[in-house]
């Protein structure tokens, strides 16, 4: 019971349950008190913005925790389900942005405040809430109040998101269990033809089951009840709970990825995507379309999946196997969630997203999965509207980066193939060149969409290097003996020059990209020098005149000197000593060539 005096500015709560000696479940005051606690929490949630909600989360959590403690889920499953879900919503808000979700919480001063056993008396700025037994009202004043308050007030919810997500999942499992009990009771009532009695009883009890605190500003249509004030149908309710579970697993993926626990990262990805797949399946059963909120959550999950698979591509096969134990480890909560998704009919091994959570040491499989995950996220975000443009640009840049990394991976394969040239493997090597070129080309297209000049130029540099390997691959060799410089080599070197010059043109007037300009100049100088050396050492006398060959060599050497000047003008450069040696080598070769020409005239 609550009452307020004429001069009081607070509501005093009195413990009416002590009037009865019956058990908690049979006590007629249990449900009204639980209802009051629930409605107070609901009002605080629904009538506050996100900042206020965070500040008052301790009070709301206190109300809901005592509500849950009072209610036996076997006897009041509807109430217990709604309160448990609302508690999970305190820990993980559906309206939290990706940036907020992925914060590390390091600026939060009280990381231990998730402890539900935090003594009430230890709160320095807390107010005392004393519950008074009605029987004591007739006793002497000095004995009326208890020395220790009954109601333990919990601290506001702080701490890192992984802790909050773990707590949210516990309450979501409670909600699922309560819902299962409620559906079982419903089925039993129907089988025993007690619908009328059950309906009357439910109508009386369901007064507490009111809409969850989803304000219009939160862009959500989720409710746990139908228009008759009962829990909504089983499919819809499970979909709502599993959506929240997917969001919680996203937070756990983020923390695991930051801590380089890649086995856990992939496990949480698998569980989160199973929840999402089950949600979609339940929505289709209930003839509901996937909401924008669902698609946005999937884009977050796919984005971080791309990050995770890219990082796994950088570790060794031995390290990957170390993460196998993490990957297979399942908590009790994970098992409960997995059980529900299995019941819905989601098979983790054959689902649409089974490729996302594969733990493999194969580098190209990890890179391809990363590319595919970013593409998936981009396709979703592109259709969410202009307000997501900043995030679309970020995803596009990540996609371009991983495409470039995939190109580098295949280029290294090509370099190895050129070094150990095997005619039987020529077809495979050509396929590697093709994959490499396609990867770099896709990376450039992605960077061009967001006008990322630096990365466009660097990817052109990689294409230039690829063409150099291509030229070496087509260098004619017969019985292990290098033959004359070929026309196909010349064409490949010309393509390399074109790519380097394209990159240089983009950054030549950008003071902020001077380092990129130096890198491109160095690589272009190397390419001119390499071609000039090949022309001089393996002169194509069968297809060109001596004079034309000498002119082309001199031209290439001169250009090599031109583009090395930027390094020679930078004594602090790491390449300065090598640049001086290269310049000396070029001058020596030019002198040797001209001396030979002079002697033969």
pLDDT in tens, 129-156: 344 444 443 444 444 344 444 556 665 6
Judged by average pLDDT, the poorest of 125-129, 160-164, 200-204, 405-409 is: 125-129
| Confidence band of 566 (pLDDT split at 50, 70, 90) | very high
Q: Is 392 helix (H, G, I), strand (E, B) or coil?
A: helix
Question: Mutual orientation of helices 514-537 and 576-600 as an angle, nearest 10°?
Answer: 30
Judged by average pLDDT, the poorest of 93-102, 245-254, 305-314 is: 93-102
Beta bridge partners of 174: none
| Confidence band of 413 (pLDDT split at 50, 70, 90) | very high
What does the alpha-carbon distance between residue 437 and residue 433 come to, in Å, rounded to a whole number? 6
Where residue 476 falls (left for φ over 0; alpha for ψ -120 to 50; beta otherwise) is: beta
What does the alpha-carbon distance between residue 225 and residue 534 come to, in Å, rounded to a whole number? 78
pLDDT greater than 50 at residue 500: yes
Q: Which residue has the higher pLDDT, 40 or 24?
A: 40
What does the alpha-carbon distance between residue 301 and residue 321 come to, in Å, rounded to a whole number? 24
pTM of the model as a whole = 0.80
Query: Which residues, 6 or more positions from 407, have their beta carbon under 8 angstroms from its beta carbon?
Result: 436, 437, 439, 440, 443, 459, 462, 466
Query: Residue 189: how many CB atoms within 10 A of its CB?
Result: 17
pLDDT greater than 80 at residue 221: no
If you ran DSSP here, which 8-state letter would residue 291 be given?
A: P
Contact of 246 with 280, CB cutoff 8 Å: no
Where in the chain are the domains?
1-162
- Phi/psi for 594 (5° steps) reads -65, -35
Q: What is the pLDDT of residue 104?
A: 39
Q: What is the pLDDT of residue 420?
A: 81
pLDDT greater than 70 at residue 525: yes
Q: Which residue has the higher pLDDT, 18 or 601?
A: 601
| Confidence band of 480 (pLDDT split at 50, 70, 90) | confident
Question: Strand ranges (DSSP E) for 279-388?
Answer: none
- pLDDT, averaged across the chain: 80
Q: Which residue has the higher pLDDT, 78 or 576?
A: 576
Judged by average pLDDT, the poorest of 217-231, 389-403, 468-482 is: 217-231
Q: Which residue has the higher pLDDT, 259 or 229?
A: 259
Name the nearest CA neighbour of 206 among 189, 222, 230, 181: 230
The gap from C-alpha 430 to its chain's centroid, in whole angstroms, comes to 35
Name the nearest CA neighbour of 54 among 120, 124, 105, 121: 105
pLDDT greater than 60 at residue 54: yes
What does the alpha-carbon distance between residue 368 and residue 354 come to, in Å, rounded to a whole number? 14
Is residue 71 within a helix (H) or strand (E), and if so which, with residue range?
none
What does the alpha-carbon distance between residue 530 and residue 227 come to, in Å, rounded to a whole number? 78
Q: What is the pLDDT of residue 152?
A: 63
Q: Which residue has the higher pLDDT, 121 or 496?
A: 496
Sign of CA dihedral 39, 42, 46, 51: positive
Angle, CA 22 vertex, CA 20 and CA 26 arms, to 5°: 105
Where residue 346 falls (left for φ over 0; alpha for ψ -120 to 50; beta otherwise) is: beta
pLDDT greater than 90 at residue 269: yes
pLDDT tens, residue by residue, 304-363:
999 999 999 999 988 998 899 999 999 999 999 999 999 998 887 777 899 999 999 999
pLDDT greater than 70 at residue 105: no
| Confidence band of 60 (pLDDT split at 50, 70, 90) | confident
The most confident of the ranges 108-122, 127-141, 566-580 is 566-580
pLDDT tens, residue by residue, 147-185:
444 556 665 666 678 888 999 999 999 999 988 887 777
Q: DSSP assignment of 78-129, as one string?
A: HHHHHHHHHHHHHHS-TT--HHHHT---TT-S-TTTT-TT--GGG-TTPPP-
Q: What is the pLDDT of residue 253?
A: 94
Q: Which residue has the higher pLDDT, 271 or 321?
A: 271
Q: DSSP assignment of 249-270, as one string?
A: HHHHHHHHHHTT-HHHHHHHHH
If you ran DSSP here, which 8-state letter would residue 232 be given?
A: P
Q: What is the pLDDT of residue 108?
A: 32
| Confidence band of 63 (pLDDT split at 50, 70, 90) | confident
Pair of tokens at residue 570: 């930078």
Query: Which residues, 6 or more positions from 549, have their beta carbon under 8 angstroms from its beta carbon?
Result: 535, 539, 540, 541
Contact of 193 with 67, CB cutoff 8 Å: no
Specify the pairing of strand 477-478 against strand 132-133: unpaired
Name the nearest CA neighbour of 61 among 81, 84, 33, 78: 84
Name the nearest CA neighbour of 442 among 392, 471, 503, 400: 400
């Amino acid at each position: 019971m609550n009452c307020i005096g004429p001069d009081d500015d607070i509501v005093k709560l009195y413990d009416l349950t002590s009037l009865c000696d019956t058990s908690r479940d049979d006590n007629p005051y249990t449900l009204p008190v639980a209802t009051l606690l629930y409605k107070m929490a609901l009002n605080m949630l629904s009538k506050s913005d996100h900042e206020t909600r965070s500040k008052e989360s301790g009070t709301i959590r206190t109300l809901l925790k005592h509500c849950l403690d009072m209610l036996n889920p076997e006897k009041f499953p509807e109430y217990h389900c709604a309160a448990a879900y609302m508690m999970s919503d305190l820990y993980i808000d559906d309206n939290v942005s990706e940036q907020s979700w992925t914060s590390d919480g390091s600026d939060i001063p009280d990381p231990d405040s998730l402890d539900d056993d935090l003594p009430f008396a230890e709160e320095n700025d807390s107010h005392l809430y004393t519950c008074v037994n009605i029987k004591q009202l007739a006793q002497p004043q000095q004995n009326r109040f208890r020395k220790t308050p009954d109601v333990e007030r919990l601290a506001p919810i702080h701490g890192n998101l992984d802790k909050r997500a773990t707590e949210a999942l516990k309450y979501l499992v409670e909600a699922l269990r309560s819902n299962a009990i409620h559906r079982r009771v419903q089925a039993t009532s129907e089988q025993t033809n007690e619908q009328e009695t059950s309906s009357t009883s439910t109508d009386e009890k369901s007064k507490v089951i009111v809409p969850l605190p989803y304000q219009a500003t939160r862009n959500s249509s989720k409710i746990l009840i139908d228009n008759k004030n009962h829990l909504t149908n089983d499919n819809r309710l499970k979909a709502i709970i599993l959506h929240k579970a997917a969001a919680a697993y996203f937070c756990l993926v983020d923390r695991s990825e930051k801590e380089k626990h890649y086995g856990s990262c992939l496990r949480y990805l698998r569980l989160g995507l199973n929840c999402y797949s089950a949600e979609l399946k339940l929505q289709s059963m209930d003839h509901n379309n996937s909401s924008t909120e669902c698609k946005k959550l999937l884009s977050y999950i796919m984005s971080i999946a791309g990050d995770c698979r890219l990082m796994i591509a950088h570790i060794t096969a031995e390290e990957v196997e170390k993460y196998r134990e993490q990957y297979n480890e399942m908590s009790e909560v994970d098992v409960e969630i997995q059980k529900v998704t299995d019941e819905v009919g989601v098979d983790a091994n054959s689902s649409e997203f089974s490729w996302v959570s594969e733990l493999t040491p194969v580098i190209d499989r990890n890179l391809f999965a990363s590319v595919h995950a970013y593409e998936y996220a981009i396709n979703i975000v592109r259709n969410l509207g202009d307000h997501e443009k900043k995030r679309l640009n970020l995803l596009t840049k990540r996609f371009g980066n991983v495409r470039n990394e995939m190109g580098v991976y295949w280029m290294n394969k090509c370099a190895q193939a050129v070094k150990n040239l095997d005619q039987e493997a020529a077809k495979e090597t050509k396929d590697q060149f093709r994959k490499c070129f396609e990867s770099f080309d896709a990376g450039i297209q992605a960077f061009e969409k967001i006008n990322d000049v630096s990365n466009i130029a660097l990817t052109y540099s990689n294409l230039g290097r690829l063409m150099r390997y291509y030229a070496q691959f087509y260098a004619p060799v017969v019985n292990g003996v290098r033959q004359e410089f070929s026309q196909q080599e010349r064409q490949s070197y010309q393509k390399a020059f074109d790519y380097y010059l394209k990159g240089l043109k983009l950054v030549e007037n950008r003071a902020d990209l001077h380092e990129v300009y130096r890198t491109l100049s160095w690589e272009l100088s190397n390419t001119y020098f390499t071609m000039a050396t090949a022309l001089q050492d393996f002169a194509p006398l069968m297809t060109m005149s001596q004079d034309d060959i000498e002119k082309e060599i001199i031209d290439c050497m001169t250009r090599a000197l031109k583009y090395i000047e930027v390094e020679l003008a930078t004594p602090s450069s790491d390449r300065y000593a090598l640049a001086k040696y290269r310049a000396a080598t070029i001058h020596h070769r030019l002198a040797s060539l001209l001396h030979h020409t002079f002697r033969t005239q």
